Amino acid sequence: MGASIREILASKGPAEGVAVRGWVRTRRDAKGFSFLEVNDGSCLGSVQVIVDAGVPGSDDLPGMTTGSAVEAVGDLVESPGGGQAWELRATRVALVGGAPDDYPLQKKRHGPEFLRQIAHLRPRTNLFGAVFRTRSLLAHAVHRFFEERGFVWVHTPIVTASDCEGAGEMFRVTTQEVGGGKDSPEDDFFGKSTYLTVSGQLEAETFACALSKVYTFGPTFRAENSNTTRHAAEFWMIEPEMAFCDLGGDMDLAEEFVKVLVRAVLEGPADDFGLFSRFVDKGLEERLKFIVERPFERVSYTEAVAILEKSGRKFEYPVAWGENLQSEHERFLTEEHFECPVTVHDYPEAIKPFYMRRNDDGKTVAAMDVLVPGIGEIVGGSQREERQDVLERTLAADGLGSGYDWYLDLRRFGTVPHAGFGAGFERILMLVTGVQNIRDVIPYPRTPGHCGP
């Protein structure tokens, strides 16, 4: 493999015999020579290739249209024009793969709605190339964050018989034919009802109670019929679990995690981040620096409800103790009241899942959500219930007693306080890129009514 265009543009000096391989963004013809703007996706920038008439392969120049794949070999020389330091003066060129006139990505701006219809081609655009390079950068930052803190990466199952959230909004996995006669779970492949996972948390807890600090990072699935800019049926979750940890330690790690990932993007490729700042969200850099530099506010759910009630604001969803905070409530707290990220903790027991530790007040659980401006909730976590008798009562009250003996074993055999959280990877991407729709930060979005390429 030869050097990427990113490496070529970072060259320290002229060079001979340099090969450029990529896709043509534009071609301009002049008398006796042509200019090709070639990009290979390794960075936002392109290399200008100058092809003189008579150069081997130049007869194929008419076919080197926007979208076609080309290879050019030549001398890397200083560029007299502005915008880039180097250009390639070709000694030979080759058309690798042509693109006809109906290539959808001609040289003009395309809206996100149009590009979602051709998700297989949109990574070739400037915006989506930058988004998916940033996705890669952020994924590496996630692994680095946990590795540096002594966490073990655990691969939890995609197919599961457990419902972590207790909500029932799961995709069923079956090999049975619809209307085939045999439709009982006992006759199915696994001999019981199985689903695509909504979370790797429960399985990660078992490893945390053996390896002390673990995390998962992988796809999860929710069968929610939510056609919003913040929800998808398939998305990626980051879920650490820590033994010998309480809610305070959980909040500390979650806040540090958000800051470190934001800093990784601020310190990443300036051209990609500059595109987001110029064309997606002009206030992005200021907002992200604010997240990194300022401590997060912490407020209990009860205090948050009181703030919302006293605000005098008429919300679409009325504020009441015992109800979930809606996105509009979360954004009011972060964008108007505190004007910074906020960690809300100690939520009502009735609105949280069975595995969260019950507080001594008999009304709340040791849960927390990290809220950020522009997005709302970006991290949700809790101290897990480590007391066997309390967990058994909660499971029974929720009608979940059967099938969780393995989970109760963690409380029977050497139980310890432990905690963890879940962070939606795509929501973090939305935060750091300024992109407003989750469909535009995941390669192939899966949403109600849509499972295209």
Q: Does the pLDDT of residue 167 top 60, yes or no? A: no
- Mean pLDDT confidence for 27-40: 96
* Residue among 85, 68, 97, 75 at smallest CA distance from 19: 75
Cα(first)–Cα(last) distance of the chain, in Å? 28
**Tokens found for residue 112:** 């996100």
Amino acid at residue number 162:
S
CATH superfamily, region 122-440: Bira Bifunctional Protein; Domain 2 (3.30.930.10)
The domain limits of the chain are 5-97, 122-440
Total Cβ atoms within 10 A of residue 399: 9
Contacts of 264 (CB under 8 A, 6+ apart): 137, 138, 141
- Mean pLDDT confidence for 54-74: 97
The model's pLDDT over 110-148, given as tens digits with 9 standing for 90+, comes to: 899 999 999 999 999 999 999 999 999 999 999 999 999
Contacts of 345 (CB under 8 A, 6+ apart): 247, 251, 298, 299, 300, 301, 366, 367, 368, 369
pTM, rounded to two decimals: 0.93
Q: In the chain, what percentage of residues exceed pLDDT 90?
A: 85
Tell me the C-alpha distance between 153 and 130, whole Å.
27
Q: Does domain 5-97 have CATH number 2.40.50.140?
A: yes
